[in-house]
Structure 1
């Protein structure tokens, strides 16, 4: 993701222009060279595709063939994911040392978690499409993968934020975008995964999965809540992001909406008559009520963020060019849509459920729009090119050794 910028020092202009002139002409860039700029942000594509498959599995109003369409999206998601893994390996092979650079780059490194989010969608869709048609072995497999995923993503969240806090090139307030939340996203959505798989797990395993889900969903929400004041301060002081980066504002929609749907799902999966709830049978009904009203409160915050992002994007449609962050049109809003449908189910409101179904249609349409734009951008060499992707050098050190983002 490119970063919003402030006006450059005139003394730096000549150096920047000289650097720009050194970039090769698009006609002279080979496919081999382009693969060296295949960044982690590409995993926003399978992340969003798997999100659509998950959305189609949970849409309130269904018709014959909808599940089949969801399975097609899921299979396509698997194909894309495998291709992107091959692509990122090709990049690291063609450019020795680029793996370490990508993990330490202050901008590109923020998108490493999207690969783990793509994996989470694969696991969630295994539950939705695989478990109903398979044996108990798949339930056990998902339980093992759940704990493994939780451990790996928690380590990722700790180490990535630790590096951002100690890196030589520090991110500054004026460069703040909702992408700063991404490192906590994978472990946060452990709760979302728990809400999906818990109901099929035996009571002895279900309660521990739900407790872990609440723990890390709560962790992700609290870290996000810490980030939101920084984000709003950045908007107040420095204005909106560049026009082609404004779709990234939808990332802020994700944490509260995914937390709302996770709380509802986990509360509904609580094991009656087992463990803690064996001596407190009324606790389940109370927790389900609390979860519903917490989800409504969190939904309202997501709705405000989504409205703000829509207005900001519409205000700059004429000057917008494709960027991989456009996939934020889809994935965060998947959580918002599923949360809306779950609230409607809990309240028994057909009106709310019809709104969720209509939103699902809009999101599927948006997926096709962004996918076509993505393919077109690759063919016209707007992305995956020297100096145009998340791996480019966008920082200059000022006299106080603080980096200042500069325009491309």
Structure 2
């Protein structure tokens, strides 16, 4: 018999194959997805039949048939597991395949590709009771993807403040959401720090992980929402009043902006450089999270469009120039990624149903760029004319910004339609933190719609944006409820359920 298995949950991994030392006995070939190969499109929606083996039921030297031998060997392995161990899915599937070879097929026990996927999509393990883990063990799986919660909460707070049709109390509601977001940011940061302190070495592994590492920029996206919400809720809208009453806070916001630009530039260059040199990622496995490292620096333009109007004129223009540069870099790299994303969709089809909400992430770059173009053009000083010839004055730049914003809004709408139809066609069944992609990018899409309606002075567009805002707030509450439930029932923060494993 093989060496005793270690205590703790046992999962279906190639390195834990209980038949690795059984060279003298033939074994059926396992489906490819059990070896962590990328799933084929539609694997989550349809099952597969085990490949037929070539061996026959012959008596062994001990007088037992191969069927009896394999069955007894499987029983021995399962009985040797600790009582609190979750039986390996590989063990269950081998038992099913062995029976199927001899005509004893039980269709209810046939494995499905979706049943061995990692991101909370394991029907077999969700039906079987999982052992309760303590908070320390669960903190080991608290990932950078949790910042998608604070990104989305900050985006909703900013959306409430920007509504074209205000009513009494809406400002206070948005302020409460902003304060809650600050508390959530502190809690998430504290939990991550606890993970890194309790489990040394996990910080480096997290930022270099081929899946979790792409969520590292979500930390900076959360900071971007904190900066913009601070400007909108704590600084008066009127520039003169702001300079008279919030001078110190405005200087702090300006310093935060320049520090943010430096840090996000380092992330955009450094993380992509690392990915290019350390990982080999097939384009057929591409997911929208690959865009995330460029997202924070792109939001520098959005921050600039919000804070520059109340800054002193010289500082405001410098902020706008930096914001325009960063926004251009972000949308350019995002478009490069879009070409690969479309190629992946054309060749391999839509992602597995559990990951289709991630397609909403493609809505964000053009939407936030449209928002930044309109905001930065509007924030230019009225007398701005760089060459003093009337060719590049504030009015001309604002017109160019409006044209570019309309162009980009249409691209954002196209991606929104693609993502929405994909999710409606096959909705996810199990919560994972990628669900928040249905909130934050669409916040930028809604804000860009509001800005376009304001620029065109169109009430129908503004009322349409109000309807979009209501749907988005309801979506936020829906995802938040499922998020809380997933924590309680151990669908996340649990071994094999989070972004610290590779599943596509």
The two structures have a TM-score, normalised by structure 2, of 0.73
Q: CA RMSD for the aligned pairs?
A: 2.4
- 1:260 and 1:296 in contact (8 A); partners too: yes
Alpha carbons 2:385, 2:392 under 8 Å: kept: no
Determine the C-alpha separation between the residues in 1 that align with 2:90 and 2:152: 36
Q: 149, 158, 162: which is aligned to 2:269?
A: 158
Q: Which residue of 2 aligns with 1:216?
A: 326
The one of 355, 375, 380 equivalent to 2:484 is 375
Q: Which residue, out of 311, 319, 327, partners 2:421?
A: 311
State the SS of the aligned residue for 1:276.
Answer: coil
Alignment check: 8 A CA contact 2:153 2:178 kept: yes
CA pair 352-393 structure 1, distance change in 2 beyond 3 A: closer
1:148 to 2:259 alignment = yes
Q: Distance in 1 between matches of 2:464 and 2:274?
A: 42
Distance 1:232 1:373, change over 3 A: same
- Where does residue 446 of structure 2 map in the other structure? 337
**For 1:64, what is the secondary structure of its paired residue?**
coil
Q: How many residues align?
A: 388
CA distance in 1 between counterparts of 2:288 and 2:500 reads: 18
> What does residue 203 of structure 2 align with?
99
1:15-26 superposed matches below 5 A:
17=90, 26=130
Mapped partners of 1:358, 1:352: distance in 2:
10
Which gives a bigger RCO, structure 1 or 2 (Cα 8 Å, sep 6+)? 1
Equivalent-residue separation in structure 2 for 1:44 and 1:264 (angstroms): 26
d(CA) in 1 for partners of 2:416 and 2:387? 37
C-alpha separation between the residues in 2 aligned to 1:29 and 1:131?
45
Q: 1:25-40 residue pairs with structure 2 within 5 A?
A: 26-40=130-144
Relative to structure 2, which stretch is displaced further, 119-128 or 234-243? 234-243
- Judge conservation of contact 2:271–2:293 (CA < 8 Å) in 1: yes
CA deviations over 1:264-315 (Å, ceiling 9, x no partner): 0000111233572655486211110110111011000000100111110011
CA distance in 2, matches of 1:366, 1:242: 21
Equivalent residue number for residue 201 of structure 1 = 311
Structure 2 residue 429 is matched with structure 1 residue 325: no
* Aligned partner of 2:501 among 385, 388, 392: 392
Question: Please, which moves more after superposition, 132-141 or 62-71?
Answer: 132-141
Larger Rg: 1 or 2? 2
More helix, by proportion: 1
**Secondary structure of the equivalent of 1:271?**
coil
CA contact (8 A) 2:384 2:393 kept: no
- Conserved? CA contact 1:153–1:187, under 8 Å: yes
Q: Is the 8 A contact 1:188 1:221 kept in 2?
A: yes
Alignment of 1:227-376 (within 5 A): 227-273=337-383, 276=386, 280=390, 283-317=393-427, 319-376=428-485
Cα distance change on mapping 1:4 and 1:193 into 2, 3 Å = farther
Q: Given that residues 252 and 305 in structure 1 are in contact (C-alpha distance below 8 angstroms), is that contact kept between their aligned partners in structure 2?
A: yes
2:236 matched to 1:127?
A: no
1:221-251 CA distances to partner (integer Å, 9 max, x unpaired)? 0000000010011111111111121111000
Look up the match of 1:398. none
Equivalence for 1:401: none
- Counterpart position of 1:44: 148
The runs of at least 4 consecutive aligned structure 1 residues that moved more than 6 Å come to 18-21
Work out the CA distance in 1 between the residues paired with 2:208 and 2:173: 39
CA distance in 1, matches of 2:389, 2:252: 31
* CA distance in structure 1 between the partners assigned to 2:444 and 2:37 by the alignment: 25
- Judged with a 3 Å threshold, the aligned counterparts in structure 2 of structure 1 residues 279 and 202 are, in CA distance, closer, same or farther, namely farther
Larger mean Cα displacement after TM superposition, 137-146 or 26-35: 26-35
Contact 2:306-2:375 at 8 Å conserved across structures? yes
2:235 is paired with a residue whose SS is: helix
Q: Distance in 1 between matches of 2:461 and 2:360?
A: 21
- Residue in structure 2 matched with residue 5 of structure 1 by the alignment: 39
Give TM-score, length-normalised by structure 1.
0.90
Structure 2 CA distance for aligned equivalents of residues 218 and 269 of structure 1: 17
Which structure 2 segments of 5+ residues have no match? 1-35, 52-73, 75-87, 93-115, 117-121, 237-241
* Cα distance change, pair 3–43 in 1 and its aligned pair in 2 (3 A): farther
Structure-2 residue corresponding to 1:78 = 182
In structure 2, relative to structure 1, the CA distance for the partners of 1:70 and 1:314 (3 Å cut) is same
Asked if 2 retains the 8 angstrom alpha-carbon contact of 1:106 and 1:170, the reply is: no
In 1, Cα distance between equivalents of 2:311 and 2:388: 17
